Structure 1
Amino acid sequence: MVTKKDKRKAAACYYYLTVKSRRRNRRTHRYWVRDWIKRRSNKNIMETLLEELEREDPECYKNFLRMSAADFKYLLDKIKFAIEKQNTHMRNAIPAAERLAITLRFLATGDSYHSLMYLFRIPVCTISRIVPEVCAAIYNVLKKEYLHMPCTEEEWLQKSQQFAEKWNFPHCIGALDGKHVLIKAPKQRGSLYHNYKGTHSVVLMALADAEYKFQYINVGCFGRISDGGVFNACSLSNKLADNSLGIPTPRPLPGRTKPVPFVIVADDAFAMKSYIMKPYAFRNLHGEQRIFNYRLSRARRIIENAFGLASARFRILRRPIELGVEKLIHVVSAICVLHNFLMTRSKRLYAPYGSFDVENHETGTIEPGEWRQSTQGLVDLHVNPHLRGNLEAKNVQREFTEYFHQEGEVPWQYKYI
């Protein structure tokens, strides 16, 4: 019979062996802070390299941080209050400017934290805290001004007018698409993030306007979820369904009499609705349907170019991101709002001529944009050509089809059918 005394002895023995094992396996640290890192203040990159680049080579400065010195200082003033830390009696805090520079360099190159440690003389454990904190601050501070979703009829009409003038697609208020952002397989998550390409990812769903800016983003859906499921899980889907975004009421297309709703253009990955237009299925199409598909693809190319330019400038998106999902959401959200920030303030520097697909409006020919030379990191959503629309959606599609063949005809469209 086991007595209480025997149980106490067994418990004491187990505790002794466990503690001893933990102490034996515990890593011993040779340094509190390495000597070469301690000398960081003597050779601070913000006081040497960046100042020299700003003074002597602005183009290299822009390449280093993906923005000009003026944009960097403006951004720093915007978010400094959110990322600045106080000095303590033990050590001085890393300045806000340096915290921002580390984060922008990480987004620009996708370098590992160890590479950044050697460049900035800051330990990996510190960088791993800085990057997500600064990304979250960038998104939270800038989203109200630079990631604005229209909410009034006047704003939506302005977006629609831009699509009509630049892409010959009236009543269009945005281009919708989703991309898989590749990640390293998360631990203990099974196949939740395993997508149809055999990789692991989270989905970035976005709506872009006619000027290649994101109006709405949703990041974080599991890579394994179907295309319709990704969109249905977005708040945008619910708001479009209950008409709570302030979108104008249906009205006739130019020169016609039948009222049609304002629409979003998308590809075959989405189910067609009265407010979402997608191409006809690519089989047994007659001329008018081919024209509709061509005109829709011209407008939908906006979102592809926005994704492509963002990944070309912020190359962290070109490879699987080795961060936890929560931190990755901060990183991708920050990239989207920085894209809008730079498209607003410095479009000529951020997206010079040739960055996007360039179209000759007289002949309709297209010269591929610079970003198409490399498309790693962002993967298209799986296309399901069998997603069909309801009768109302088909009537809207038919009205656009007739408009593009008659009142809204452009001279070069027949070359591409």
Structure 2
Amino acid sequence: MSRRRPRVHRFWVHPILRKCLQRGEYHVLVQELRLDDHLFQQYFRMSKNVFDELLGKVGSLITKVDTHMRVSIGPAERLAICLRYLATGDSYRTIAFSYRVGHATVAVIVKEVAGAIWTALVEETMPVPQPEDWRAIAAEFQEIWNFPNCVGAVDGKHMVIQAPANSGSLYFNYKSTHSLVLLAVVDARYLFRVVDVGGFGRSSDSGSLRNSAFGESLRDGSLQLPPDTVIPGAEQLGLLPHVFVGDEAFPLLDNLLRPFPGRHLTRERRMFNYRLSRARLVVECAFGILSSQWRMFRRVITTSPEVTELCVKATCVLHNFLRRKTIGRRSRTPLADSTDEATPTLLDAPRMGSNNATRRSIQLRETFSSYFNEEGAVPWQQYVV
């Protein structure tokens, strides 16, 4: 059996790469883009002021020391390379040619900078919710989406990846692709409050919830949710818990509502399904904004699962970091008063999740259904259902 001959390196640094300071994309194009904030926004998915602010937060974590052998790549260029990968999903080699650095260097930079972004921003943009945070989320769901005692919408997103070596069917999902699962809880203003990344593609949404730290906390009651409260105007319904809303793939729990299953439903149950679906749309919209802004989600991700997990977590905190700067300029969500008859009601939902619900969970769903058909009815729901 012939052995592969070792590769002989002709250059310590290729002559083309030595010209990165004169012709590399960061030192030429990016500097020109700083003169036009609109183009800079399109290139990095953020303004130059926000880029500089982000650099101030992560710069100390990604700065390298110069050696006698070579000059290190500066933190601004390292951040630019990572953001460009997240914004486009281009291959490492494509970005390496543009920035005139080695493709292995790009791989190291993306991994390190993505991890640094998560470390630097997670406490600021995605802290562990406390009882007062859950109350504020519930108040916004009531104000914007007319859903009382709701503390978040939960759903899973499959991110298509290249099948890892020797992984078998672990990452093979129901869409006949290989994927990692992002399980997220989103508030009324499309901000990620809890994320769990790394679930195998073969797992259903219910299985991803069951195997996640969030799902475990939901089951054992350690999420620090506010105590049960009375809905104003519906005191006769008694104390009701604070709940998350999910689609038909999730189980029905005391603190997790899912729609009524089946096709032949009463008008009251279809009304409940519409109101729940209307509140649950925030997580679908958040995923849409995420994948529209960070185009790596629209391609087959070819990195290892570990690096993919770091990149996904980085985009989630970047999503919150950027949206918090725009929320103050918006007084109301455009979809809040939508009367579009195309709004899904989940009447014809094709998937069915495990639903080993307790009697209390079933009764709680019936109570919420009664509220949405009587005291909590909104004027336009009669024309939608």
Note if 1:320 corresponds to 2:300: yes
Note if 1:399 corresponds to 2:383: no
| Identity %, equivalent residues | 40
Aligned counterparts of 1:312 and 1:156: Cα–Cα separation in 2: 28
* Number of matched pairs: 377
Aligned counterparts of 2:95 and 2:264: Cα–Cα separation in 1: 55
Q: What do residues 8-45 of structure 1 show as CA deviations (whole Å, max 9, x unaligned)?
A: xxxxxxxxxx9xx54x5212223222111101122343
Note if contact 2:155-2:205 (Cα within 8 Å) is conserved in structure 1: no
* Letter aligned with residue 380 of structure 2: W
Residue in 1 aligned with 2:232? 254
Shift, 1:242, TM fit: 2.1
Shift, 1:299, TM fit: 0.4
Note if 1:112 corresponds to 2:119: no
2:38 to 47, 59, 65: 59
Instruction: Tell which structure's C-alpha radius of gyration is larger.
Output: 1
Alpha-carbon spacing, 1:360–1:335, altered in 2? closer, same or farther (3 Å): closer
1:301 to 281, 287, 299: 281
Shift, 1:366, TM fit: 7.2
Residue in 2 aligned with 1:197? 175
1:128-147 alignment, distance < 5 Å: 128-147=107-126
Q: Indicate the SS of the match to 1:365.
A: coil
Shift, 1:347, TM fit: 5.3
* Unpaired stretches in structure 2, ≥5 consecutive residues: 344-349
Residue in 1 aligned with 2:347? none
* Unpaired stretches in structure 1, ≥5 consecutive residues: 1-17, 369-381
Shift, 1:348, TM fit: 9.0
Residue in 2 aligned with 1:207? 185
Residue in 2 aligned with 1:72? 51
Aligned counterparts of 1:415 and 1:388: Cα–Cα separation in 2: 33
Q: What do residues 253-280 of structure 1 show as CA deviations (whole Å, max 9, x unaligned)?
A: 2222311100000001100001000111
Q: TM (normalized to structure 2)?
A: 0.93
Note if 1:288 corresponds to 2:264: no
1:112-261 alignment, distance < 5 Å: 112-152=91-131, 154-257=132-235, 258-261=238-241
* Letter aligned with residue 176 of structure 1: V
Residue in 1 aligned with 2:340? 365
Note if contact 1:359-1:365 (Cα within 8 Å) is conserved in structure 2: no
Aligned counterparts of 1:346 and 1:98: Cα–Cα separation in 2: 26
Q: Indicate the SS of the match to 1:48.
A: helix
Note if contact 2:254-2:360 (Cα within 8 Å) is conserved in structure 1: yes
Aligned counterparts of 1:75 and 1:98: Cα–Cα separation in 2: 13
Shift, 1:179, TM fit: 1.0
1:319-398 alignment, distance < 5 Å: 319-346=299-326, 358-359=334-335, 361=337, 364-365=339-340, 383-385=351-353, 387-398=355-366
Q: Indicate the SS of the match to 2:41.
A: helix
Aligned counterparts of 1:156 and 1:281: Cα–Cα separation in 2: 28
CA RMSD of aligned residues (A): 2.1
Q: TM (normalized to structure 1)?
A: 0.86
Aligned counterparts of 2:356 and 2:41: Cα–Cα separation in 1: 46
